[in-house]
Structure 1
Amino acid sequence: MAQELSNSGLKVVLLESGGLERQSDIDALDDIENVGRPRAKDQWSVRNRILGGSSHTWGGRCAGFDAIDFEERAWVPFSGWPIGMPEIIPYLDRSADHLGLAVGSGFSDQRFWDIANKKPPGTDVDPQFLLPFFWQFSRDDAESYPFEYMRFGRHLPARLGASITLVTGATVQRIVANEAASAVRGLEFSTLDGRKHMLAAAAIALCAGGIENARILLNSKKGARAALGNDRDQVGRYLMDHLRGSTAFFKLAGSEAVQRRFGRYNVKGRFFRAGLRLSPDIQRREALLNCAAWLGEDIAPDDPWDALRRFAGRSPRLPRDAISLIVNSGLIIRGARDYFGARNGVPRKLENLTLECMCEQVPDADSRVTLSDRRDRLGMRLPKVDWRSHPDEARTLHRMAELVAAELARLGLPEPTLAEWVRDRAEIPPSFVDVAHPTGTTRMSSDPGKGVVDANCEVHGVRGLFVSGSSVFPTAGHCNPTQMIVAMAVRLADHLKARMTRSVPAKVTANAG
């Protein structure tokens, strides 16, 4: 958003809680009180409080949502977006420059083969059950390693126009509104020395993630009034993430065909990954949630491509890396042929090959973020997270694994062995923790009684207060949210440029405290 608003004539202050480098005392501000389903214990693995946010630890995987994700589905309570897929596609296209993608849309279905200039397989999965799906991986062309993902914080200061002021070490604690709580006046933030500051602003956009967006709003409370934007008790509700993990296992011996079919492709200097998703037809017939599957690879410690990368970076682990290159020279030769000839990704040396599935969640008002009685070092109440899962999610994952196994067998490809919990139709294992995709806590809705923001991401009833990020998504889809987050941020930036017809200077004052 800051880059999109550069040189727009608007004066923008970008407040970042972290700094340019990771700091332990700032990491501690991400603590949570968890009272629900098990979550990742190391918050840095899922939430990065640093300039550039969680792009410091993300896996680079990008895709837009499916058309069905925007629909109101009778079998998915509280589903349906107030905007549709056609409105999002232009912003997905514009997200490509920010994310380092070859193309921004139209690459996740059969159109991939035209983009790749490759002939599609002669036989494919039955479309009444499954559809092919492709993910594209972000790339930062400015980095020396050719397939480094975009880490937004590395280049951001140089890409901001003169009208953008970046302030690091500034943790927003609450939004300040007028007496009627009908419009924003500014916000209060703290610096690491504990001092509080006020920033006056005509418009505010919260871009702090699915946990913190809700936390800041819930903390924006004056006296006996409801928290800002929470007159209808919607802030923090409908917390979703993605349930992701292994549903089946392949024997490594003889798995080359399935690895080639559902492996990586090198297209226009970008990696794409092939997988499968549930067809809309079977979702409707069997009342299933949206779900995707791909091959999960556990890389062997002596993988020669990792060794080559360390040699290229002049940090080899000798003599182990040299031995790995000699022992696995055949894999290097085959990889060079695949990379430069077939334009596929290089084959890795594996320890295990699994079928990984990722499923959307049912929007549930009782799956939520509230405020704990515990406080962080700046005095702000911690978020209390009550993340829940549901039987429909387990049922969808069971069915996805069964369908993939059956279709692979029909195509003459190696059939995996279903995980015990899938065969027994058991609950989702506790090992399926959150995967850094907190969604829905400030959901978008045309009805203020069923959401927090409107179709323009403005908080219902509070003029000038906007929210961006996956917290505004009414449903989570099956795919990683980053490209959708960036597309929606570009869309909101356009709305702000159109709406803010004059620049209002920001004023900062410091208070002891």
Structure 2
Amino acid sequence: MAIIDLQAASGETILPLPRYDVCIVGSGPAGATLARELSNADLSVLLLESGGRERSAEIDALNEIENVGRPRAGDQWSVRNRILGGSSHTWGGRCGPFDAIDFEHRDWVAHSGWPISPGDIAPYMDRSAAHLGLAIGNGYSDQRFWSIARRPAPQKDVDPSLLLPFFWQFSRDDAESYPFEYMRFGRHIQKHLGSNVTVLTGATVLQVLSNTSRSSVTGLEFATLDGRRLKVAAASIVLCAGGIENARLLLNSGPPDRPGLGNDRDQVGRYLMDHLRGPTAFFKLSGSARLQRRFGRYNVQGRFFRAGLRLSPAVQRQERLLNCAAWLGEVLAPDDPWDALRRVAARKPRLPQDVLSLLRNSPLLLRGAMDYFGARNGMPRKLQQLTLDCMCEQMPDPDSRVTLSERRDRLGMRLPKVDWRSHPDEARTMHRMTGLIADEFARMGFPRPELAEWVRDRAPLPPDFIDVAHPTGTTRMSTDPGKGVVDANCEVHGVEGLFVSGSSVFPTAGHCNPTQMIVAMAIRLADHLKGRQSLELPLEVMADVG
């Protein structure tokens, strides 16, 4: 495998091949997984990444958006990373499978329903564990957790007609010196990719090239920051650039008087969803130790799992609610010693503050070691606040969307104009979820939390519930080209050889963090691509690209 830095290279003959079987745009969890799964196959693969090995302010600026909808994160680096490894640089490592109900058509959730089933994706969830550094890929998020953890199930539990247990698993990179570092897909990319894969950094894709009839792809046009524009021919192209950028690339592809590649039915960019997440109730720290142990972290096979709750399918159907999950949110004290220990282990201590924090909180560190190695729990943190945090799926809305702004970036690409919308059903679901948990905790003998004012008053969502780096749905899967962008194999309707991977193909977002599903779907797509016959491009295509 070769890594070529386009920014440092010169000339137009830098690529080993003039044409590739598969070109992958983006090196985050989707793109890196796809390239790894295609390694050593009988396919030539080119992986293009806009950024390089290190973060660059000039590259970061290419992520600028024009926001005309609900408030979104001001710092785009917190949600979108143009760097080798993509958004795995800033993700929180939390993994979990979608619920069976997420795949169903629900008559109270407009535009719901996936063209694939939980059984279709289950084998790929199992295979995702190796990519994400998980102890187990599937079957760990419900009551089966207790047998996996070799622990007795709690004698008292929530009413399963209302709420169900849920367990998230945290990614771990065993190759890193810090034992709880999440998988960062760019760090070890060279050792995971085969000789048939070329990685090109500093290559910002501008558009997908197609034949005259726009019925099949021919290649890509990409550029460097200094304005050089290059093209590469390809039989298949996979966009793995995230929910905002995948839509932007399709909309920017083709002549300005056409609706964008794959957008003849005006579906590209629609159904933009994210996760609405934030505190809905608050606990007193005093007297919360038993609650924190029961609904805290667990150490299983050297991996952290976090316990929480989700709405039961029964109550979702009965009360026409969206899917929603909740867990104990921890606001760390400024002198939490575990953050200090992490910086010391990474040889980046803040002196003298970190040393003082470690000395002052040595009893907590000792208890943490005993909990981790003895009771097999998570490390106790020093908190200044304990909250109940909820995360709710959004109602798919065709008017919540990404279009193109009249403004352009330094490479001449039109910026994405983001009109992200929320809906009353999302607030109603979080109100109900919080009330159910407060009642069930009281029944089980745990402290009853104080409801947040907006929950108590049944008010709309607070404006500080912004996006959490889970942009979903803008190139959604559908068997009907009039209701989505890609088919069940993630190929763009009507454009042969053009595929999309990532959360932008999800028809609904569920309550769960999307990364494990993104990786599983990328593995599934890789199997599909390996099953396709590698075709020689016709002479007309080579002429178009050249």
Give the alignment's TM-score, normalised by structure 2.
Answer: 0.91
The aligned amino acid for 1:71 is: E
Give me the whole-angstrom Cα distance separating, in 1, the residues matched to 2:211 and 2:349. 59
Q: Which residue of 2 aligns with 1:144?
A: 177
1:153-168 aligned within 5 A: 153-168=186-201
Deviations 1:63-104, CA, capped at 9 Å, x for gaps: 110000000000000000000000111001111000000000
Q: Which residue of 2 aligns with 1:359?
A: 392
Measured after TM superposition, the shift of residue 364 of structure 1 is 0.2
Give me the whole-angstrom Cα distance separating, in 2, the residues matched to 1:230 and 1:315. 48
Q: Which residue of 1 aligns with 2:47?
A: 14
1:395 is paired with a residue whose SS is: helix
1:232 is paired with a residue whose SS is: coil
Measured after TM superposition, the shift of residue 191 of structure 1 is 1.4
Q: Which of residues 66, 83, 86 is equivalent to 2:116?
A: 83
Measured after TM superposition, the shift of residue 480 of structure 1 is 0.5
2:130 counterpart of 1:130: no
Measured after TM superposition, the shift of residue 4 of structure 1 is 0.4
Q: Which residue of 1 aligns with 2:262?
A: 229
Give me the whole-angstrom Cα distance separating, in 2, the residues matched to 1:50 and 1:312. 24
Measured after TM superposition, the shift of residue 329 of structure 1 is 2.9
Measured after TM superposition, the shift of residue 347 of structure 1 is 0.8
Measured after TM superposition, the shift of residue 120 of structure 1 is 1.1
Q: Which residue of 1 aligns with 2:476?
A: 443
Give me the whole-angstrom Cα distance separating, in 2, the residues matched to 1:308 and 1:40. 29
Is the 2:167–2:307 Cα contact (8 Å) retained in structure 1? Answer: yes
Is the 2:233–2:545 Cα contact (8 Å) retained in structure 1? Answer: no
Q: Which residue of 1 aligns with 2:336?
A: 303
Deviations 1:441-498, CA, capped at 9 Å, x for gaps: 0000000000000000000010000000000000000011000000000000000000
Measured after TM superposition, the shift of residue 26 of structure 1 is 0.4
Measured after TM superposition, the shift of residue 509 of structure 1 is 11
1:56-95 aligned within 5 A: 56-95=89-128
Rate the CA distance shift 1:166–1:316 in 2: closer, same or farther, 3 A: closer
1:172-211 aligned within 5 A: 172-211=205-244
Q: Which residue of 2 aligns with 1:481?
A: 514
Rate the CA distance shift 1:285–1:142 in 2: closer, same or farther, 3 A: same
1:38-49 aligned within 5 A: 38-49=71-82
Measured after TM superposition, the shift of residue 341 of structure 1 is 1.2
Q: Which of residues 377, 389, 402 is equivalent to 2:422?
A: 389
Question: After the TM superposition, which of the residue ranges 301-310 and 136-145 deviates more from structure 2?
Answer: 301-310
Q: Which of residues 292, 298, 303 is equivalent to 2:325?
A: 292
Q: Which residue of 2 aligns with 1:426?
A: 459
Measured after TM superposition, the shift of residue 227 of structure 1 is 1.3
1:105 is paired with a residue whose SS is: coil
Give me the whole-angstrom Cα distance separating, in 2, the residues matched to 1:336 and 1:174. 52
Is the 2:208–2:219 Cα contact (8 Å) retained in structure 1? Answer: yes
2:111 is paired with a residue whose SS is: coil
Give me the whole-angstrom Cα distance separating, in 1, the residues matched to 2:45 and 2:176. 28
Q: Which of residues 431, 434, 441 is equivalent to 1:401?
A: 434
Q: Which residue of 2 aligns with 1:497?
A: 530
Is the 1:197–1:508 Cα contact (8 Å) retained in structure 2? Answer: no
Measured after TM superposition, the shift of residue 328 of structure 1 is 2.5
Give me the whole-angstrom Cα distance separating, in 1, the residues matched to 2:219 and 2:420. 31
Deviations 1:324-378, CA, capped at 9 Å, x for gaps: 3343233223222211111001111100000000000000000000000000000
Give me the whole-angstrom Cα distance separating, in 2, the residues matched to 1:115 and 1:86. 21
Measured after TM superposition, the shift of residue 308 of structure 1 is 2.8
Q: Which residue of 1 aligns with 2:281?
A: 248
Give me the whole-angstrom Cα distance separating, in 1, the residues matched to 2:459 and 2:341. 42
Give me the whole-angstrom Cα distance separating, in 2, the residues matched to 1:51 and 1:500. 29
Measured after TM superposition, the shift of residue 305 of structure 1 is 2.3
Q: Which residue of 1 aligns with 2:497?
A: 464
Is the 1:63–1:136 Cα contact (8 Å) retained in structure 2? Answer: yes
Q: Which residue of 2 aligns with 1:336?
A: 369
Q: Which of residues 143, 146, 154 is equivalent to 1:113?
A: 146
Deviations 1:407-428, CA, capped at 9 Å, x for gaps: 1111000111000000000000
Is the 1:444–1:472 Cα contact (8 Å) retained in structure 2? Answer: yes
Question: After the TM superposition, which of the residue ranges 468-477 and 296-305 deviates more from structure 2?
Answer: 296-305
Give me the whole-angstrom Cα distance separating, in 1, the residues matched to 2:200 and 2:136. 32
Give the alignment's TM-score, normalised by structure 1.
Answer: 0.97
Q: Which of residues 250, 257, 261 is equivalent to 2:290?
A: 257
1:365 is paired with a residue whose SS is: coil
2:309 counterpart of 1:281: no
Is the 1:199–1:508 Cα contact (8 Å) retained in structure 2? Answer: no
2:50 counterpart of 1:3: no
Question: After the TM superposition, which of the residue ranges 243-252 and 493-502 deviates more from structure 2?
Answer: 493-502
Deviations 1:167-191, CA, capped at 9 Å, x for gaps: 0111111111111111111111111
Question: Percent identity of the aligned residues?
Answer: 74
Give me the whole-angstrom Cα distance separating, in 1, the residues matched to 2:246 and 2:343. 39
Question: After the TM superposition, which of the residue ranges 338-347 and 34-43 deviates more from structure 2?
Answer: 338-347
Which consecutive unaligned segments of at least 5 residues does structure 2 have? Answer: 1-33
Give me the whole-angstrom Cα distance separating, in 2, the residues matched to 1:160 and 1:327. 46
Which consecutive unaligned segments of at least 5 residues does structure 1 have? Answer: none
